[in-house]
Chains A and B, each alone.
Chain A
Amino acid sequence: MATTEEIRAQLAELVNEVAGVPVEDVQLDKSFVDDLDVDSLAMVEILVGCEEKFGVTIPDEESKNLKTVGDAVAYVEAHS
């Protein structure tokens, strides 16, 4: 089982690849939209990337609840 930090680090790589956000900026308390300037289409790509990377399923209706990096990491931890 990956640690919280390992999941955060892998997610940070994904956010960097999709949206160009520096990996060190992708911290648990950061909001994807407000802090990291990730737009809605890039967010879809990031969540699909999470599904591939972590073997989870993120239904569309769940995705709107994942506002911060911490939300996404917690979802992965709970569902993988």
Chain B
Amino acid sequence: MTEIVITGIGATTPLGGDLSSTWANLLAGKSGVVRLTDEWFAELPVQIAAVAAVDPSERIDRVKARRLDRSTQLALVAAEEAWTDAGFDWETGADSQVDPETLLVSLASGIGGLHSLLNNWDAQRDKGYRRVSPFTIPMLMANAPASNVGIQIHAKAGIHTPVSACASSNEAISLAIDQLRLGRAEVAVVGGTEATIHPLPLAAFGQMQALSRRNDEPERASRPWDRGRDGFVMGEGSAVMVIETLEHALARGAKIYGTLAGSGISADSHDIVQPDPSGGGQSSAMRKALKNAGLTPADINHVNAHGTSTPQGDVTEAGSIRAALGADADHAVVTSTKSMTGHLLGGAGALETVATVMALHDRMVPPTINLEDPEPDLGIDIAANVARPLPDGDLAALNNSFGFGGANVAVVVTNANQTR
């Protein structure tokens, strides 16, 4: 089967405006969660979120930025870093090392251009329809981030935006793996983005009792598997990878971070928001991913869990990891980087796949912070509060993402083909 390697990475997150700062802060156990101070949050029960460390509009030409939703701005910043890191030219987009007909984009958002949608409705309601920007639709549509990245780099093999709520960007990665294996492309830009820190989603998720209300201790609010957890913390940001067939990467002498070895998808078909409490759908996705990668539970050293810090979700996932890996879960170091980044919704899978790739690359698993009073008998080995080293030799890891609607997507990363 065609091997697929990662040759470029970019990220702009609550922990930093690029990959290196994000990764350093993940390993150091820093929280990106802050108290929101705008006056319109004051009446909300939830007043905390993980805001992007660097405002993306600072990094994009002013005239261009006013036509782009914040979610697209974040995606462009991360994509530029990834594309440049892979050795390609961003400004001209066209690059002699890549045939546009073999280049695709698969980049997801869970919710889409929320700020553009709501801001233009505010303008219409308050000042009339003439104040609605003619750019509203191309700003709010869910495929706007992927399409703007694709236009910049002249991707002509297809531009995809799978939408499966908080599993969206893992699904985007899975889709790209399939497309490369089918020979429909040789290079893909994959990832996810989200920008939904606005009073409406905070109110709406809050009404579901899904969000932490630890407003007075933002840095301690996201605490997966801790008994004091009370919901997830919304985060914003984007992570993007350049991936390509091993053959294509070797032919151009690209540096290689690791290998995307496979993926698995399942659907709970149980409830629109609650995971199947048996965890059967989740463990099915992990098993399918391992089979797809040609690996067994014994090969897995690390799991980047979905781990959102919700009372039920964390316990269900611990059980599903144990069910998928069996006794081999004893030697898999589990973490939830959402303890630091908050939950990037449709961007989460991409950011956490990046964290998984970097964990294998540097042989160091970022911690799950705030794990002061763990749930008993979880049956998994969590990197509690401090980063955990991984052994020498071959490494393999799973990254889980689960979404409302019952979508479960697991991606397998290995350090095979890593040349540095």
A5 on interface, CB distance cutoff 8 Å:
no
Which residue from B62, B63, B66, B130 sits with its C-beta under 8 Å from A48?
Answer: B130
Q: Does A45 contact B63, Cβ atoms closer than 8 Å? A: no
Residues on B with beta carbons closer than 8 Å to the beta carbon of A36: none
Q: Does B62 contact A45, Cβ atoms closer than 8 Å? A: no
B 25-70 contacts with A by CB, 8 A: 61-63, 66
Q: Does A41 contact B134, Cβ atoms closer than 8 Å? A: yes
Q: Does B130 contact A19, Cβ atoms closer than 8 Å? A: no
Q: How far is the CB of B134 from chain A (nearest CB, A)?
A: 4
Q: How far is the CA of A51 from the CA of B131 in the complex (A)?
A: 10
A20 on interface, CB distance cutoff 8 Å:
yes
For chain A, the bracket of interface size reads 10 to 19
A33 on interface, CB distance cutoff 8 Å:
no
Residues on B with beta carbons closer than 8 Å to the beta carbon of A45: 133-135
Q: Does A20 contact B63, Cβ atoms closer than 8 Å? A: yes
Residues on A with beta carbons closer than 8 Å to the beta carbon of B63: 17-20
Nearest residue, chain B, Cβ from A19: B63
Q: How far is the CA of A41 from the CA of B63 in the complex (A)?
A: 13
Residues on A with beta carbons closer than 8 Å to the beta carbon of B135: 41, 45
For chain B, the bracket of interface size reads under 10
Q: How far is the CB of A59 from chain B (nearest CB, A)?
A: 11
Nearest residue, chain A, Cβ from B61: A20
Q: How far is the CA of A18 from the CA of B130 in the complex (A)?
A: 16
Most buried by A among B61, B63, B135: B63
Nearest residue, chain B, Cβ from A40: B134
A 23-80 contacts with B by CB, 8 A: 41-42, 44-45, 48, 51
Q: How far is the CA of A41 from the CA of B137 in the complex (A)?
A: 11
Q: How far is the CB of B120 from chain A (nearest CB, A)?
A: 12
Q: Does A51 contact B130, Cβ atoms closer than 8 Å? A: yes
Nearest residue, chain A, Cβ from B138: A41
Residues on B with beta carbons closer than 8 Å to the beta carbon of A20: 61-63
Residues on B with beta carbons closer than 8 Å to the beta carbon of A51: 130
Q: How far is the CB of A3 from chain B (nearest CB, A)?
A: 26
The digit string for B163-175, where 1 denotes a CB below 8 A from any CB of A, is: 0000000000000
Q: How far is the CA of A19 from the CA of B61 in the complex (A)?
A: 11
Q: How far is the CA of A79 from the CA of B131 in the complex (A)?
A: 20
Q: How far is the CB of A46 from chain B (nearest CB, A)?
A: 10
Nearest residue, chain A, Cβ from B137: A41
Q: How far is the CA of A48 from the CA of B131 in the complex (A)?
A: 7
Q: How far is the CA of A51 from the CA of B130 in the complex (A)?
A: 9
The digit string for B354-368, where 1 denotes a CB below 8 A from any CB of A, is: 000000000000000
Which residue from B61, B62, B134 sits with its C-beta under 8 Å from A44?
Answer: B134
Can you report 17 residue pairs joining A to B where beta carbons are below 8 Å apart? A17-B63, A18-B63, A18-B66, A19-B63, A20-B61, A20-B62, A20-B63, A41-B134, A41-B135, A42-B134, A44-B134, A45-B133, A45-B134, A45-B135, A48-B130, A48-B131, A51-B130
> Knowing that A19-B63, A20-B61, A41-B134 are A-B contacts, what are 14 other residue pairs whose CB atoms are under 8 Å apart, sorted by A's residue number?
A17-B63, A18-B63, A18-B66, A20-B62, A20-B63, A41-B135, A42-B134, A44-B134, A45-B133, A45-B134, A45-B135, A48-B130, A48-B131, A51-B130
Rank and list the top 5 A-B pairs by shortest CB-CB distance, nearest first: A20-B63, A44-B134, A41-B134, A48-B130, A41-B135
